[in-house]
Amino acid sequence: MAEYPPSLERLLHELEKLPGIGPRTAQRLAFHLLKQPADISRALAAALVDARTKLHPCRDCFNLTEETLCNICASSNRERSSLLVVEDPSDVVAFERTHEYRGLYHVLGGTLSPLEGRGPQDLTLDALVERVKKAGSFKEIIVATDPTVEGDSTALYIQQLLKGVTVKVTRLARGLPSGGDVEYADESTLLKALEGRREL
């Protein structure tokens, strides 16, 4: 097999590190970009670097933001009595699309997964307990991790952590397909899950 020039080799190597992208997809993306005018590649590179330098976790909820606080935490229109705990920033977007939930969020950064070497210290769990205690305004913590084994176990861990703190901890109902992903659930499924939540 013919060898690629070093710069192309490097591009493929970087693309293949992305989730869901194997050698073939990497090749397709790279050749597609190289066929287009150079401006397209420059714009992509600039957008990547720009997003990466400007975005960081929100001080309170760990959602992505360019400011100290994300626009949800900063808003005066949100109810400060309920907190929806999700795995990733993309889940926040999914729930916001329902236009139904008016409370605040907390982004964990994943689930517990010993197989992938992810323990409690790798999630924003300490910050969650701290936040709930300090705010004192939360009446309900809704755990909306994915309905997977890992999501369930993480929900259970959160419940244990919050045992001493006097708030109600609920879990999203199983309206979500088992083994499913919050991010991909459609809005009506999410709504049903939200309405049918149960106390842990």
Partner 1 sequence: MHVCSLRLSHFRNYDTLEVEFHPQLNLFLGSNAQGKTNVLEALYCLSTTRSFRGSSDDEIVQFSQEAAAIESVVQREEGQEQVRLELRRDKPKTLLVNGKKQKKLSSLLGRLPAVVFSPDDLFLVKGGPSLRRRYLDTMMFQMDAGYLAHLQQYERALKQRNSLLRQRVPNLESQLAVWDLPLAQHGAAIMKRRLEISAQLSRSAGEALRDLTGGAEKFEVRYEPTLPVEGDEGSLEKKMIEAFTKARREEIARGVTVVGPHRDDLGLWVNGQMLRKFGSQGQQRTGALALKLAQLDILAEGCHTAPLVLFDDVMAELDDKRQAFFLNRLQQGGQAFLTGTAPADFAAAQAKARVFRVEAGKIQMTQEGPKPVPVRA
Q: Are 89 and 107 in contact (CB under 8 A)?
A: yes
113 binds partner 1 (CB under 8 A): yes
* Partner that binds at residue 73, options partner 1, Zn ion, none, CB closer than 5 to 8 Å by kind: Zn ion
Residue type, 49: V
* CA separation for the pair 46, 52 (Å, rounded): 10
Between 30 and 125, CB nearer to partner 1: 125
Q: CB nearer to Zn ion: give 131 or 197.
A: 131
- Identify the residue among 114, 134, 164, 199 touching partner 1 (CB under 8 A): 114
Question: Rule CB under 5 A: is residue 84 a binding residue for Zn ion?
Answer: no
Residue 119 binds to partner 1 (criterion: CB under 8 A) = yes
Q: Is 181 exposed, middle or buried (0-12, 13-18, 19+ CB in 10 A)?
A: middle
Question: CA separation (Å) from 183 to 5, 77, 171, 189?
Answer: 39, 24, 16, 11
**Residue 119 beta carbon to partner 1: minimum distance, rounded to whole angstroms:** 6
Q: In angstroms, what is the minimal distance from the CB of 166 to Zn ion?
A: 24
d(CA 132, CA 21): 39
Binding-site ranges for partner 1 (CB under 8 A): 22, 112-115, 119-120, 148-150, 152-154, 156-157, 160, 178-179
